[in-house]
């Protein structure tokens, strides 16, 4: 399976990063979103991040210009369909993802491979709602995509070997490293990471430590580059809660019960960096703990 053209659905935090790395690797990219404003913001951010790579001498101005020229944007899913590979990077809600794949179906080439960047939703279940479950995989990038080296490859129960091998080759062409995971809730990274973040929120909720002391303890005591509460803010507390709910519902184990404080922050709209407030307040020059 030769893959040279890529359609990406969703121009948010993950979608723009995925478009960035594919364009740099030489793929022709069609980036789609329902919002033209989101598409304009995504291209501006890609431009800014590429400029940073030029400043660090990771690429030349000519490389940057060529990468940007490979990215085309659209608000029409019909323009996304006729690509070799499609990566769905929409919000972490299964009904939305299913609707996207249903809307794409009439526009797909017979050989098009479908993938989802979902961080926790069943690949088998998503694939079963398409006309090509054998050519469907989980393709989970880490955030921020241009920086993080890992891509989780998740095979659904129907995924065939040529599709898996094609995705292995794509990851290699991107210059990243793949980790193969079975299709169980949370896969590998979030199955381990999210309960740690959730436990940090419980530690705060129960008054064992403050935001500052919890994050400092993991940075200095466990050599983590970022504290778990700061990381939760970076990921988005709504995303963390959604993944914990998938783990709790899918594995039926009380150890995955989302902390009530995490739920409360999401209910308040305190979702982390993207809203300016989560476990830290980001409105000033330096983030300030909110508890």
Q: Which residues are catalytic?
A: 119, 140, 152, 190
- What CATH number was assigned to the domain covering residues 191-289? 1.10.1040.10
- The CA-atom distances, in angstroms, between 31 and each of 9, 14, 80, 230, 274 are 6, 12, 8, 29, 21
Q: Which of 269, 282, 191, 202 is nearest to 234 (CA)?
A: 282
Tell me if 138 is assigned to a ligand binding site: no
Return the pLDDT at 93.
87
Structure token pair of residue 189: 């990274």
So where are the chain's domains?
5-182, 191-289
Tell me if 95 is assigned to a ligand binding site: no
Return the pLDDT at 92.
84
CA angle 47, 52, 54 (to 5 degrees): 95
Fold agreement (5-182, 191-289): no
Return the pLDDT at 131.
96
Q: Judge residue 175's burial from the number of C-beta atoms within 10 Å of its C-beta, 0-12 exposed, 13-18 middle, 19 or more buried.
A: exposed
Return the pLDDT at 119.
87
> At the top level of CATH, which class does the domain 5-182 belong to?
alpha beta
Tell me if 116 is assigned to a ligand binding site: no
Token pair 């598409």 is found at: 39
* Mean pLDDT of each 10-residue bin along the chain, 291 residues long: 94 95 98 96 97 95 97 96 97 92 96 95 95 98 95 97 97 97 94 97 98 98 97 95 93 97 98 97 96 91
- Largest Cα separation within the chain, whole Å, is 56
């Amino acid at each position: 399976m030769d893959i040279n053209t890529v359609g990406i659905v969703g121009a948010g935090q993950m979608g723009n990063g995925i478009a960035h790395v594919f364009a740099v690797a030489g793929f022709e990219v069609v980036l789609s979103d329902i919002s033209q404003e989101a598409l304009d913001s995504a291209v501006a951010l890609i431009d800014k991040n590429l400029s940073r790579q030029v400043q660090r001498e990771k690429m030349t101005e000519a490389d940057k210009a060529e990468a940007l020229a490979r990215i085309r944007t659209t608000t029409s899913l019909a323009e996304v369909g006729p690509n070799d590979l499609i990566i769905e990077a929409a919000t972490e809600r299964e009904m939305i993802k299913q609707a996207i794949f249903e809307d794409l179906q009439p526009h797909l080439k017979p050989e098009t491979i479908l993938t989802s960047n979902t961080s926790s939703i069943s690949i088998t279940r998503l694939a079963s709602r398409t006309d090509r479950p054998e050519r469907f995989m989980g393709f989970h990038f880490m955030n921020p995509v241009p920086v993080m080296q890992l891509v989780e490859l998740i095979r659904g129960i129907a995924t065939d070997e040529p599709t898996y091998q094609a995705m292995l080759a794509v990851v290699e062409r991107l210059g990243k490293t793949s980790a193969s995971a079975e299709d169980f809730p949370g896969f590998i990274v979030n199955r381990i990471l999210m309960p740690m973040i959730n436990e940090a929120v419980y530690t705060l909720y129960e008054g064992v430590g403050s935001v500052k002391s919890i994050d400092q303890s993991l940075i200095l005591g466990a050599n983590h580059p970022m504290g778990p509460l700061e990381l939760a803010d970076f990921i988005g507390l709504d995303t963390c809660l959604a993944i914990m709910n998938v783990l709790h519902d899918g594995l039926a184990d009380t150890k995955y019960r989302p902390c009530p404080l995490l739920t409360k922050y999401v209910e308040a709209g305190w979702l982390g960096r993207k809203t300016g407030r989560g476990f830290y307040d980001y409105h000033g020059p330096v983030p300030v703990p909110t508890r």
